[in-house]
Structure 1
Amino acid sequence: MGLHARPAAEFVRAVNESGLPVVIRKDGTAGADARSLLQVMAADFQHGCEVRLEVDAGAVPEAHGAGDTERILASLAALLESQGSVH
């Protein structure tokens, strides 16, 4: 099993609070808009799979600098790992 509803909702909530347009993907996929619970749940990430969190640098709000964006992505990755669902 991949991301269950509760951890997925917690992750999506954190992404939305960050204000960043994050995409979550595993190799070979188009990825899902991490701001959308429906897209994250539909992506069917399998338990223990490796995922990548990405942000289009051109879409980052001016309030976020590059260092801030990296810090937020690291925090989101840690949240996923702490839930034990994906890496």
Structure 2
Amino acid sequence: MAERPQTRSRKDRRGRRKPKVCPFETGALEVTDYHDVAMLRRFISDTGKILPRRRTGVSARYQRRLAGTIKLARMLAILPYAKPLVRR
């Protein structure tokens, strides 16, 4: 009888992702500056929504601060609430 070749299980095929590290806890970024539009745009989607933690890797504490900072920048008209609709 022929032996079946060893295949990896479905769990093994998925692979492991390395854990995301919060950029604010490492000291790479500051949350408090609402004037820094380039930094804030990293955490906003193409449609203007605030990206979730699972996508950005930000800790819960800094996600709350980041959301407040983005909302403040929107109120002061530094950031748009939504992207303009493009008609073709």
- Under a length normalisation based on structure 1, what TM-score does the superposition of the two structures give? 0.37
Q: Which has the higher contact order (CA 8 A, sep 6+)?
A: 1
Task: Report the structure number with the largest CA radius of gyration.
Answer: 2
Q: Report the structure, 1 or 2, having the larger helix content.
A: 1
Q: Report the structure, 1 or 2, having the larger strand content.
A: 1
- Under a length normalisation based on structure 2, what TM-score does the superposition of the two structures give? 0.37
